[in-house]
Amino acid sequence: MARSFSTGFRPLSLTAAEASPTAGKINLSPVQRHVARKRFSQNFLVDPHYIERIIAAVDPQRDDNIVEIGPGLGALTRPLLDRVSRLTVIEIDRDLAARIVDEFPPDRLVLHNADALSFDFAALGSELRVIGNLPYNISTPLLFHLSRCEASLRDLTVMLQREVVQRMAAAPATPQYGRLTVMLQTRFHIERLFTVPAGAFRPAPKVESAVARLAPLGAARPRVLDEALFAAIVAAAFGQRRKTLRNALQHWAAPRDLEQAGVAPGARGETLAVGDFVRLANALA
């Protein structure tokens, strides 16, 4: 009997043989049965200790509107479904999507076989609580994509490469502080929760991971008059870190413009706080 699930755009039908994760295969563990795909940057969390820590950090409640990005083999999906009445998941891998269809009832889990980078998260309602082990190769663009629907978000609890989390939560005048820091901290309060070693995954990645929580600033978010201009100025300020702002921003501002905005022309972008960038961009808007 054919089964179907939502792609986010159109229904996709699968035969029972296609949908079954055990069809034509010996009875191995889920990790052994599925060959991790490098193009999807697949590293599956298997350590129960860290699975429990992530679930505890999220602290899901029965009626929460939770969206899991990249459920993979269901390590987080199962304990989430023990806590919530309904769960939405987004999985790009067709084979993994078929396994999810086979294991979880459709009245409890809604599956979108889609690319999270182009998925319309705002269509899933309000107060979204997003959770996921984000693929390393798309983590930064995916964070920017999620930030554009901040009005629909309650929080994000995500696992990324440890160095990315360090950059997200960095303070000014530190080596990790950069474009990603400023763009995200303009919209979110960011909290680094804990590190996850490479051995907690199969296959083990070559880097350590870390879990972070991002909460939209809401009414506390600084007002940016021109989002495109703000993004361009931040990108230019960090494009070549050793350049002074006088040189890095010469396309947008003369030294006198920088001084009038309270920014020293001889300073480098890494020395400016998030609020300084907002004030500068608004002055030039």
pLDDT tens, N- to C-terminus, the chain (285 residues): 333 333 333 333 333 333 333 333 323 344 445 554 444 456 889 999 999 999 999 999 999 999 999 998 999 999 999 999 999 999 999 999 999 999 999 999 999 999 999 999 999 999 999 999 988 888 999 999 999 999 999 999 999 999 999 999 999 999 999 999 999 999 999 999 999 999 999 888 889 999 999 999 999 999 999 999 999 999 999 998 889 999 999 999 999 999 999 999 999 999 999 999 999 999 999
pTM across the whole model: 0.84
Superfamily grouping for domain 227-284:
rRNA adenine dimethylase, C-terminal domain (1.10.8.100)
The pLDDT value recorded for residue 43 is 83
Long-range contacts of 89-95, Cβ-Cβ distance < 8 Å, separation of 24 or more: 90/8, 90/114, 90/116, 90/119, 92/40, 92/116, 93/37, 93/40, 93/42, 95/34
Say how far apart CA 170 and CA 11 lie, in whole Å: 43
83: its two tokens: 């806590």
Q: Which CATH number fits domain 3-220: 3.90.1150.10, 3.30.2310.20, 3.30.360.10, 3.40.50.150?
A: 3.40.50.150
